[in-house]
Chains A and B, each alone.
Chain A
Amino acid sequence: MAQGQMAPGIVPGRLSSDELTSNFTDLHPPLAPHEAAVAADRCYFCYDAPCVTACPTDIDIPLFIRQIQAGQPQAAGRTILEQNILGGMCARVCPTETLCEEACVREAAEGKPVEIGRLQRYSTDTVMEAGDHPFERAAPTGKTVAVIGAGPAGLACAHRLAMLGHDVVIHECKPKPGGLNEYGIAAYKSTNDFAQAEVDWLLKIGGIAIETGSVLGDTISLDGLVENYDAVFLSIGLAGVNALRAQGTEKDGVRAAVDFISDVRQAEDLAHLPVGRNVVVIGGGMTAVDAAVKSKLLGAEHVTIAYRRGRDAMGASRYEQDLAASHGVRILTNVQPVAVYGNGSAVDIELEYTTTRDGRLEGTGEMIRLPADQVLKAIGQTLEGAPEGLALDGNKIAVTGAGRTSLDGVWAGGDCAAGGEDLTVTAVAEGRDAAMDIHATLVS
């Protein structure tokens, strides 16, 4: 039986199984064929289209939409996948409102862009539902490449290398491949175990082996990989979580938002997943929104996103902010955490209002105290476990060109590498481009 929203503490089963199932269905249901035809007809087939420029993977968007118009969604899918092998996931999780759809001229004209993301999903779903893999491997080169991390960057890199005729081994520390596609990302954006289905489909290219439970610095070392493979691609993501500078963060109920999201993604039965009655999420990015919305969907009574600056500075797009608000999440801005109170377990959180003076954020001294039996930290991830000897750029692996690190034969891409936004689509682009560079190096 559902315990209800009023039950104190962090408990499972706040909502019935039916309510949970309904809450975690697709945020944007897939387009039916006629809907897709109507949506596709809105595309103007712009010259040197701004949407393509805005896409980190340079998908030829007007072309694939025209292919839908012309009744060939599978051909459209291939156009997408040639540029972005994870086009299916990107169709679901890309913040299109800040990428292609923001650039769409119909956004300028009438505030309603062509639904590029949903059309992309329509096309890629058609390809995947057909079951076959539209790409073939080139003749074997005899070269082997190690990819560390089976997230979007690693998978994209591996697929492109395999396509070019190289043999690839992906070393993944987690039990399942997919990276944040599997362990991060809002559940309501990737339903029906899509991440694994996509990986399975991607691997049909052949020539890619995945070794899970393979931990860099433990079961494998960069030196060993460099010695045994012709090239190495590091796509290890950001495994660390930034520390929250406040008192009482060691109390039960305070944890990283990414861990909470991972639990939701991996839960066999959402009815068994505990969530607080009063949840406070610290941060202002997409992870904060995902964690907050998920808490609400699991049945938390009050969910608050507490962000230290104004709404304009939030990493989450306006669309994401509105998504949170539409689910009943309260967005509290210009507050920073001071202390978490409670006897062993969190009960309250104290926040201080902030202001920006001379470009610096500082507390005003005014406090607000909110009930908080669960506090989720979503203040950013950080590089952790990077091998010794790699030059860093800030807190990330320094790269030049298409992901070349300071070490010969070692490339890097995705969130762990400097440059680009930390987005799935950016990771795919970096993985793909690094693969092309690795290929050029190996066959030269």
Chain B
Amino acid sequence: MADLTTNFLGISSPNPYWLASAPPTDKEYNVRRAFEAGWGGVVWKTLGAEGPPVVNVNGPRYGAIYGADRRLLGLNNIELITDRPLEVNLEEMARVKAEYPDRALIASIMVPCEEEAWKAILPRVAETGADGIELNFGCPHGMSERGMGSAVGQVPEYIEMVTRWCKTYYDRPVIVKLTPNITDIRKPAAAARNGGADAVSLINTINSITSVNLDTFSPEPSIDGKGSHGGYCGPAVKPIALSMVSEIARAEATHGMPISGIGGVTTWRDAAEFISLGCGNVQVCTAAMTYGFKIIDELTAGLSEWMDEKGYTSVDQVIGRAVPNVTDWQYLNLNYVAKAKIDQDQCIKCGRCYAACEDTSHQAISMSDDRVFEVMDDECVACNLCVDVCPIEGCITMEPMAAGAVDPRTGKTVQPDYANWTSHPNNPMAKAAE
């Protein structure tokens, strides 16, 4: 069995799965259940400043997007930070951390963008024995209207400033949680690093309206006939999160900075992908909210199983393994030529590849009277759409052409060497790139 113990910023946890700051970590009762179930750590639901707590709506907080059989693919929420008194949360955190010293406990914090506010709360958090803090610069709804959450996360200068205050008044690790509601994720990440952050975590939720009620014309979730954008999360957002994580992992300004990966982690495979793109651990929320804490058994066993198969003995050996393979389009090998190939034994003759190719792509699949579908290599550009729409996994594959063979589409011989756009004769900038 591979050892799943992780050491993120010096914070040890028995596995790389932390529960993200969200409803599942709002109070002692839930967190105890999570730890009993086997979760490696929690980021406590975001704390606000001392004083009357925030209030939540008293109607639906969540909206959903479903796949087949009502499988939840995406969730959106308009819940705010914790609506319980600060004192209660701090007491509970201290108690839980004392009883579960081997688990990570991180305090998520969101207070106004004023030095005094941070200076006031940080010592109190430190007293709880929490292993570190996470700065919530991500929530896109509600709190952002009051100048907090993503309103901070969208201004790199604010991120840097607040991070610096935290590093001044708090002596344990500081993680900055980033909002994806921004055009270039590298900027806030770099700002966090400049401010002295120990790590970034991402992504927070994405601005979203899940649907519109076509009887009342209210966005969902609807509160008395009106709706507000919420934060989107769940399996649907994973590709966006992976891309943003990879950007930070490979950017010069942020390369090597520890990352806690968040966004649609649902199975062990998702976690392994985040880790391979440079994350030191992952945070989970929607999957737990959909299926309960017991999924941790599959998450840990699955990751361990895969690591055993591959011969990895610790999570550290996986971190960042995919990062060198993330590149810019301009560096992709244009001498690589592939052709789609349909395995006739596996083909069930649904014709989806044909419809997709004929109607929307390159007219590179033929259909016979008896429904035999074949790729025409002289038209196929290897776009992969047929593979993507084929309902049978493995029936259509992309087969690379060997060097020396002639691509019947272009009439050109496949070259063995690597050549990309920067040196391509069609590139007007080619000379400059050399």
A positions within 8 Å CB-CB of B: 34, 37-38, 41-42, 44-50, 105-106, 108-109
Contacts and interface: CB of A to CB of B under 8 A. Distances in A.
B392 interface: yes
A36 to B, nearest CB: 12
Nearest to B349: A105
Interface in B60-95: 68-70
Interface string B346-366: 001111101100000000000
B373 to A, nearest CB: 9
Closest 8 CB pairs of A and B: A47-B351, A41-B68, A47-B355, A109-B348, A105-B348, A46-B350, A105-B350, A44-B350
Contacts of A48: 351, 367, 371
A296 B304 CA distance: 57
A109 B348 CA distance: 6
Contacts of A108: 348-349
A contact patch SS: helix
Nearest to B356: A47
A109 B391 contact: yes
Nearest to A110: B348
B348 A106 contact: yes
A47 B348 CA distance: 12
A34 B70 CA distance: 9
Contacts of B352: 44-47
A226 B321 CA distance: 85
Nearest to B358: A47
A37 B70 CA distance: 9
Given A109-B391, A109-B392, A47 B350 contact: yes
A108 B351 CA distance: 13
A380 to B, nearest CB: 33
Contacts of A106: 348
Contacts of B350: 44, 46-47, 105
A44 B391 CA distance: 8
Nearest to B390: A44
Interface in B329-380: 348-352, 354-355, 367, 371
Contact of B68 (A38, A47, A49, A105): A38
A262 B85 CA distance: 76
Contacts of B351: 46-49
A301 to B, nearest CB: 44
Contacts of B371: 48, 50
30 contacts: A37-B69, A37-B70, A38-B68, A38-B69, A41-B68, A42-B68, A44-B350, A44-B352, A44-B391, A46-B349, A46-B351, A47-B350, A47-B351, A47-B352, A47-B354, A47-B367, A48-B351, A48-B371, A49-B351, A50-B349, A50-B371, A105-B348, A105-B349, A105-B350, A106-B348, A108-B348, A108-B349, A109-B348, A109-B391, A109-B392
Contacts of A44: 350, 352, 391
A107 to B, nearest CB: 9
A109 B350 CA distance: 10
A50 B367 CA distance: 13
Nearest to B359: A47
A37 B71 CA distance: 12
A38 B68 CA distance: 6
Contacts of B69: 37-38, 41
Contacts of B68: 38, 41-42
A125 to B, nearest CB: 22
Contacts of A37: 69-70
A92 to B, nearest CB: 26
Contacts of A105: 348-350
Given A41-B68, A47-B352, 7 more contacts: A37-B70, A46-B352, A47-B354, A50-B371, A106-B348, A108-B348, A108-B349
B69 to A, nearest CB: 5
A34 B392 CA distance: 25
Point out which of B354, B367, B391 has the most chain A C-beta atoms below 10 A from its C-beta. B391
B212 to A, nearest CB: 14
Interface string B381-394: 00000000001100
A43 to B, nearest CB: 10
Nearest to B392: A109
Contacts of B367: 47-48
Nearest to A69: B68
Contacts of A45: 352
A45 B391 CA distance: 11
A318 B70 CA distance: 34
Contacts of A109: 348, 391-392
Contacts of A41: 68-69
Interface string B235-270: 000000000000000000000000000000000000
A285 B304 CA distance: 58
Nearest to B389: A44
